Amino acid sequence: MTKIQNTNNKYNLEERTLKFARDVIRLCRNLSRNTINFKLIDQLIRSAGSIGANHREANDTLGKKDFIHRLRIARKEAKETTFWLNLVLEANPDSKNEVIKLIDESQQLRNILSAIIAKSTK
């Protein structure tokens, strides 16, 4: 696996969304294996990975309309990820500290995407 160079990660959204998805995977690896977590993990990993995937697609679009559309999908996935993280927290209260950090990051990503959308639609 290739390491991404640390070039001001906080402000590089592609790297930040990748780090977020990786952090979600690390959390999920540490959750207990049971019927509830299997379903939550599947949904959570999908939505967390989709944030970065859709942001990357937005950066590769040919037009402004498609760019904004992809960013809206990424923002929707960030909101969905927050939802799944809250359910993971309910099912796994022993992982509270790690989940709370991820909830905060998913909300920050949503806010960043919202700001980019707002600036792009002016």
CATH code: domain 14-120 is 1.20.1440.60
What values do phi and psi take at 3, rounded to 5?
-90, 140
pLDDT digits (tens, 9 = 90+) for 29-49: 999 999 999 999 999 999 999
Query: Using CA atoms, how far apart are residues 64 and 73, in angstroms rounded to an integer?
Result: 14
Contacts of 58 (CB under 8 A, 6+ apart): 66, 67, 68, 70, 71, 74
* pLDDT over 70 (residue 2): no
pLDDT of residue 61: 77
Question: Percentage of residues in the chain with pLDDT exceeding 90?
Answer: 88
Sketch the domain layout of the chain as residue ranges: 14-120
What values do phi and psi take at 85, rounded to 5?
-65, -40
Quickly state the pLDDT bin for 11 (edges 50, 70, 90): low
Whether 113 and 75 have beta carbons less than 8 Å apart is answered as yes
pLDDT digits (tens, 9 = 90+) for 80-91: 999 999 999 999
Quickly state the pLDDT bin for 8 (edges 50, 70, 90): very low
Query: Using CA atoms, how far apart are residues 39 and 56, in angstroms rounded to an integer?
Result: 27
